[in-house]
Amino acid sequence: MANNKTGFTSSFGVVMAAAGSAVGLGNIWRFPYICGQYGGAACLFVYLLFVFLIGMVLLMTEFVIGRRSGFAAEKAFPALYPKRPSWKIVGLFGMFTCFLILSIYLVISGWTVGYFWDSVTGKLASIEDGAFDEYFVQFSTSVWKPVVFLVIFLVLTLIVVLGGVQKGIEQVSKLLMPFLLVLVIVLCVRALTLPGASKGIEYLFNPDFSKLTWEGILAILGQALFSLSVGMGAMIVYGSYIPRDNNILKNAAWITVCDVLIAVLAGVAIFPAVFAAGQSPAGGPSLVYEVLPIVFNSMGTIGIVFAAVFFLLLSLAALTSAISLLETLTAWLHDRGMKRSVAAVLISAIELVLAVVVAYAYKREGFDGGILSGFTPGGRDLFDWVDKLTGSYLPPIGALFTVIFFGWVMKKEDIYDELSNHGVLKISWFKVFYHFLVRFVAPVALLISLVAGIFAK
Ligand code: TRP
């Protein structure tokens, strides 16, 4: 099948763009916390297994589907199996997932850009230690603040996507990803040299297999998928931009390594600092917006710089992920005949409305929420709904059907042909990959985790 679209120019470009998609809010505020909560090195061990055996296999799966078909998710499935066009439902399901993720991503990224601004202007440094929760609530539930910053972030994302696949996405990722690595290393060095830092390292890495519960294992698998951006068609789109002579296995391995590395480094940057400042670890928003500002303030004047560096790091990591989400949806509409620029603007406009609704639905436990937080169908506000759906349920469902299509519907010869670049590469690992990981391990693991996840409340 011909792939006439503009794609990425080199392996390096592919790895940076896809690592940009993978490294995001999930790595920096979710992974370290999950790691601490579910047994440190024990969790890390399981995470590495899942990431390399299931996550990376899905990454390769999506790359092959994308590059072979040359399409975004909706058309990719039928293109590879014309007998049953209804497989496009899996693609559409992925689009729905991306659509929801982008809305909540915009909200959280907006908060982050806002905190970056507050740290640069010195506002954060002027707040008393005990008042950060109140400050965060005021910020996140105010009518205009979250919206203003969210719009700034969305406009930046849109500009990059309008710049195109090569000149926008690839260029920006090649620039930002190495910069991100430098920022996170700077933060690690600072954190590790604080007195009392070792307790944080212990929290992160001390292996405690008793904390590794069944529930924990599910959370770790969900995180492995979410973190690699698989199970929703995003990597099918990036796959369709991979040059024909690139080695898909190598690309996928590098992307996975970058993703894990940044997640672990983020943990090393955060927890030693948290313990050194006498705070206790928390998860999600309160870690980033309530605990860390206290930590930065405890460093004295230089803390202002580190606060700015941290919120910049988080904003940029979120930006390359948001770019990937917007590109996924744009490429999908483009496949359906819409002009790229029109598609990107249209999606952004719809996401803006949705994101504002989600932002206004946010409620911090124990405080008054945003103006829409009283709307709680099924006992959850809309922010919680989107968070739960996108974090736990939708990605494994998408991943399960994608891998079933790949292992049981697509022709094995086609997969071999694509992974070996039409016989050019020697791929002695193919049998293990295909018969063991793709057809057996990945679907069984996904199915078990889904069923257990749904029944375990
Ligand atoms: N991987 C991103 C993170 O860790 C989040 C994400 C999930 C994503 N699915 C995606 C990003 C699809 C881009 C496209 O934060």
Q: Which class for 242: exposed (0-12), middle (13-18), buried (19 or more C-beta within 10 A)?
A: buried
pLDDT digits (tens, 9 = 90+) for 299-350: 888 889 999 999 999 999 999 999 999 999 999 999 999 999 999 999 999 9
- Mean pLDDT over residues 381-387, rounded? 91
- pLDDT surpassing 80 at residue 454: no
Q: Is the CB of 99 under 6 A from ligand 1?
A: no
- For residue 145, pLDDT beyond 60: yes
- Binned at pLDDT 50, 70 and 90, residue 407 comes out as very high
Give the per-residue SS3 of 110-134.
HHHHHHHHHHHCCCHHHCCHHHHHH
- For a mutational test of ligand 1's pocket, the pick from 63, 104, 160, 325, i.e. the residue with the most ligand atoms closer than 8 A to its C-beta, is 325
The larger pLDDT score, comparing residue 82 to residue 222, is at 82
Average pLDDT estimate for 116-128? 92
Structure tokens at 410: 């697509």
Residue 268 has what pLDDT?
A: 92
Can you tell me which residue has the tokens 């929703």? Answer: 232
- In order of start, what are the domains of the chain with their CATH numbers? 11-455 (1.10.4160.10)
pLDDT at 235: 98
Calculate the average pLDDT of the chain: 93
* Nearest CA-CA partner of 322 in 26, 61, 63: 26
The reply to whether ligand 1 has any atom less than 6 angstroms from the CB of 229 is: yes
Does residue 236 surpass a pLDDT of 50? yes
Tally Cβ neighbours within 10 Å of residue 415. Answer: 22
Is-contact 410 179, C-beta < 8 A?
Answer: no
Residue 97 near ligand 1, beta carbon < 6 Å: no
Residue nearest to atom 14 of ligand 1 (CA): 325
222 pocket-lining for ligand 1 (C-beta < 6 Å): no
Q: Check pLDDT > 50 for residue 192.
A: yes
Q: Is 203 helix (H, G, I), strand (E, B) or coil?
A: helix
User: According to the model, what pLDDT value does residue 218 have?
Assistant: 82
- Structure confidence at residue 1 as a pLDDT band (50, 70, 90): very low
Kindly indicate the confidence band of residue 81, based on its pLDDT and cuts at 50, 70 and 90: very high
Helix intervals (H) in 361-411: 382-388, 394-404
Helix (H, G, I), strand (E, B) or coil at 51: helix
What pLDDT, on the 0 to 100 scale, is given for residue 324? 98
Q: Is the pLDDT of residue 196 over 60?
A: yes
Average pLDDT for 75-85: 97
Percent of the chain with pLDDT over 70: 99
Sequence-ordered list of residues with C-beta below 8 angstroms from that of 321, at least 6 positions apart, any chain: 20, 21, 22, 23, 24, 25, 105, 229
The radius of gyration of the chain from alpha carbons, rounded to an integer in Å, stands at 21
Ligand 1: atom nearest CA of 226 is: 7
Question: How confident is the model over 42-73, as pLDDT tens digits?
Answer: 999 999 999 999 999 999 999 999 999 999 99
Which pLDDT belongs to residue 457? 56
Is the pLDDT higher at 451 or at 326?
326
